[in-house]
């Protein structure tokens, strides 16, 4: 069984490679779908961290909002301002304060709703493997907060989705705007 799983994973990777343009970027019309069972231990850990973040930060938000939360996590991984792994970004603390409140406020101790969590895992897989080719609903944001708090950040607001307001540093906003005009 392990041999068949490995062969199928290799086929998926080869297929994804063949869909790559000459510049090394996936063609936007081709979305990769990788079943959780085909992942190695490191990938499963990253997907689980991303799914946890989606679930506890936005599990009951509209789908676009859940994808935006996942995108912020991936945007942080891709930036040089945060940890270089999804789990590192999710678990990162600044001056002892969690970047994502669910890690510090006791929410993680609650047993998740299985259906909502499974949806979060599917979105985590989708965003993790396709973040370079799907539209980022957060518009390149690195930060967000719920609409019922006011942290008085000096950042540029990129969008509002559901109960979350998304932001990026002022200089990054113009870089993102230029990149999306190509």
- Model pTM greater than 0.95? no
What number of other Cβ atoms are within 10 A of residue 32's Cβ? 17
The domain of 151 spans: 2-180
- pLDDT for the residue 172: 57
Confidence check: pLDDT of 40 > 60:
yes
Q: Which residues contact 75 (CB under 8 A, 6 or more apart)?
A: 136, 138, 140, 141, 142
Alpha helices in the chain (DSSP H): 2-18, 41-58, 63-78, 86-91, 114-130, 170-180
Name the least confident of 53-57, 118-122, 152-156, 169-173: 169-173
* 53 vs 112: CA distance, rounded Å: 12
Question: Each residue of 118-163: pLDDT tens digit?
Answer: 999 999 999 999 999 999 999 999 999 999 999 989 999 999 999 9
CATH no. for residue 34?
1.10.10.2520
- In total, how many domains does the chain have? 1
């Amino acid at each position: 069984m392990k041999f068949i799983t490995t062969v199928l994973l290799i086929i998926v990777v080869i297929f994804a490679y063949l869909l790559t343009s000459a510049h090394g970027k996936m063609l936007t019309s081709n979305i990769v779908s990788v079943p959780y069972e085909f992942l190695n231990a490191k990938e499963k850990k990253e997907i689980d961290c991303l799914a946890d973040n989606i679930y506890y930060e936005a599990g009951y938000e509209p789908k676009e909002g859940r994808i935006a939360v996942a995108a912020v996590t991936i945007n942080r991984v891709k930036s040089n301002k945060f940890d270089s792994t999804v789990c590192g970004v999710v678990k990162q603390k600044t001056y002892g304060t969690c970047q994502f409140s669910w890690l510090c406020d006791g929410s993680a101790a609650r047993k998740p709703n299985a259906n909502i969590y499974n949806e979060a895992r599917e979105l985590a897989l989708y965003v993790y493997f396709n973040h370079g080719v799907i539209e980022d609903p957060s518009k390149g944001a690195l930060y967000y907060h719920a609409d019922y708090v006011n942290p008085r950040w000096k950042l540029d607001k990129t969008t509002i989705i559901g109960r979350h307001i998304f932001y990026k540093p002022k200089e990054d906003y113009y870089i993102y705007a230029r990149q999306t005009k190509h």
